[in-house]
Amino acid sequence: MEKSIIITGGAGFIGSHVVREFVLKYPEYHIINLDSLTYAGNLANLKDIEHLTNYTFIKADITDAQHILEIFQQYQPDGVIHLAAESHVDRSITDPLAFVMTNVIGTVNLLNAVRIIWKDNFEGKRFHHVSTDEVYGTLGVSGLFTEETSYDPHSPYSASKASSDHFVRAYHDTYGLPVVLTNCSNNYGPNHFPEKLIPLCIHNILNNKPLPIYGDGKFTRDWLFVIDHARAIDLVFHKGKNGDSYNVGGFNEWTNIDLVKELCRQMDKKLNRSEGISAELISFVKDRPGHDLRYAIDATKINGELGYSPSVTFEEGLSKTIDWYLNNQDWLDTVTSGVYQDYYEKQYLK
């Protein structure tokens, strides 16, 4: 094999699309998916590629420094693409420490492991840290996040991601580690765990359950189709400038209420329901504490320097996403059984 790459969090939502992109596009690379399989990790996400000879799965927890080092010594990766994380803001509000452990300590464990195995020979090596636009905090009604925007996280999730970004840069500045970072806007698409807004609403529309909209629904997010995020990661991993960050987004802002109405409109059509029926499920609920008003990415740098652009419009991506959930209701049934019910009850019914 020409290269070996460890992708952490490869059984999760975005990670599984990144693993698929790399395994199929680069048969000459050995792709090692390292994931501890938390509630958010699901090997069913990778059923179609798990038989391929350039793919290996390893169950491991990035908070376990010794185990991580042993794996890195065994596989000697040339590259790391780091996505493993606790990723849900609402869960970070009830259990911040889990976010510190995985997102901060776990990231530092990976940085230490590559430092040890790469020694000071960084030729052909790269550590790609996958982060979020939420590190920048909130925008008012105008403006966009650029790579120069100061960090100003508000939730325990975004604070832990901001901290991990700082460690990655510190290892570049202090030890010369070859790193790149990407800070992406909200993703949507197949295999998204139904604790996040879009898949939660798809699941509830299918089951005629209320669609919980926090506060007045005027909060704005910038949405990117997950496969377009995977394409951006491929581009930055291979062509990004050492030590640089790249914001990733598609200039696609929606208020939550408008987005859910569009989702209802498309689902009424696909389910042959009369127009407006799903929107009747919309239900305004108590706001999330510390809720950021607006995120919006200025993607000029990645577009200009690396020639990036998204492959689908939001309407197309949303339509593909709904079709995937309609065709994979067994996936949805599996992930919403058991512990999901406890989470849902605590978050929405108490």
Q: Which residues bind ligand TYD (CB under 6 A)?
A: 89, 186, 196-197, 200, 212-214, 219, 221, 256, 288
Q: Residue 220, interface with ligand NAD (CB under 6 A)?
A: no
In 21-70, at which residue ranges do the beta strands (DSSP E only) sit?
29-35, 55-59
Partner in contact with 40, chosen from ligand NAD, ligand TYD, none, beta carbon below 5 to 8 Å by kind: ligand NAD
Let me know how many helices (H) and strands (E) the chain has, helices first: 13, 12
Min CB(171)–ligand NAD separation in Å: 17
Residue appearing with tokens 């200025």? 298
256 binds, among ligand NAD, ligand TYD, none (CB under 5 to 8 A by kind): ligand TYD
Could you give the CA distance from residue 34 to residue 72 in angstroms, rounded to a whole number? 10
Interface with ligand NAD, residue 21, by CB under 6 A:
no
Helix, strand, coil fractions of the chain, as percent rounded to 5:
45, 20, 35
Indicate which single residue of 6, 20, 31, 41 sits in contact with ligand NAD (rule: CB under 6 A).
41
When the beta carbons of 94 and 283 are compared against ligand NAD, the nearer one is 94
User: With helix as H, strand as E and coil as C, how does 265-305 read?
Assistant: HHHHHHCCCCCCCHHHHEEEECCCCCCCCECCECCHHHHHH
Q: In the bound complex, what is the minimum distance in angstroms from residue 296's beta carbon to ligand TYD?
A: 12
Query: What's the CA gap between 92 and 134, in Å, rounded?
Result: 13
Q: Which of 29, 55, 136, 157 is catalytic?
A: 157
Q: Let me know if 133 is a catalytic residue.
A: yes
Strand order in the sheet with 3-8: 55-59, 29-35, 3-8, 79-82, 126-132, 179-184, 245-248
**Whole-number minimum distance, CB 212 to ligand TYD, in Å?**
4
Q: How far is the CB of 64 from ligand TYD (least distance, A)?
A: 27
Using CB distances below 5 to 8 A depending on partner kind, what does residue 219 bind out of ligand NAD, ligand TYD, none?
ligand TYD
The widest CA-to-CA distance across the chain, in whole angstroms, is: 64
Q: Which stretch binds ligand NAD (CB under 6 A): 60-68, 199-207, 230-238, 264-272?
A: 60-68
134 is catalytic: yes
CB 241 within 8 A of CB 180: yes
Closest C-alpha among 60, 55, 43, 46 to residue 8: 60
**Which CB sits closer to ligand NAD, 15 or 77?**
15
157 is a catalytic site residue: yes
CA–CA distance, 270 with 53 (Å, rounded to integer)? 38
227 binds, among ligand TYD, ligand NAD, none (CB under 5 to 8 A by kind): none
Q: Which residues of this chain interact with ligand NAD, rule CB under 6 A?
A: 8-9, 11-15, 35-38, 40-41, 61-63, 83-87, 102, 106, 130, 132, 161, 184, 186-187, 193
